[in-house]
Structure 1
Amino acid sequence: MEKTTTLNLRVNPDVKRRAEEVLSQLGIPMSTAIDIYLKQISMTGGIPFAVTLPKAPVSVNADLMTTDEIHAKLKEGYNDIEKGNVQDASAAFQRFRKTHA
């Protein structure tokens, strides 16, 4: 089928860059990937993957906490900072990725 429609999309530049890196490794142009996605939507009658909220542990899920519980967690964090119990975010994310890849 001939491609005759143009889509203009606004997306997060970092998300686009990361997607392009993956698609490049797969040898798939972005336009082909989007075409595949749209075909899957029409074939399945919906988004072709589960769209769900991440499951946060109850102990850190602010939606399930009272105001007092949130304040207590914040105070605990401030106390850790004052005690020097901190770490570089970049290094922490690198360790996380290594253990959860």
Structure 2
Amino acid sequence: MASRSRINVEVDTETKDRALRVINSMGLDMSSAINMYLKHISDSGELPFTPEIIVEGQLQTAEADVEAGRTKSFKTIDALLKDLHNDVDD
């Protein structure tokens, strides 16, 4: 049998609790799920998802948009959806 290692990871409580509910609903425990995740990475050489990376240029553009007032805010989800619908019609 392979030797075992302990990993200590810090994660926000809400994320852990939500993930644990999903993992438990599948009949797994956290340790088994993390082992499956690490096994997938070590076997495939890839993450089981594609991470989204914000590049520096995109961040600078977003910050400039905020500073220049080129952003929108909404008080309700209905107002947001109406604005999105109007953008599609334009």
Aligned counterparts, 1:1-101, within 5 A: 1=1, 4-53=4-53, 63-64=60-61, 67=64, 69-70=65-66, 71-73=68-70, 77=73, 86-87=75-76, 92=77
Distance in 2 (CA, whole Å) between partners of 1:52 and 1:33 is: 22
* Cα 1:47/1:65, change in 2 over 3 Å: closer
Identity of aligned residues (%): 27
TM-score by structure 1 length?
Answer: 0.55
Residue 31 (structure 1) shift: 0.1
Paired amino acid for 1:6: R
Give the corresponding residue for 1:82. none
Question: Between Structure 1 and Structure 2, which shows a larger proportion of helix residues?
Answer: 1
Query: What's the TM-score once normalised by structure 2's chain length?
Result: 0.61
Q: What's the RMSD between the two structures over aligned residues?
A: 3.0
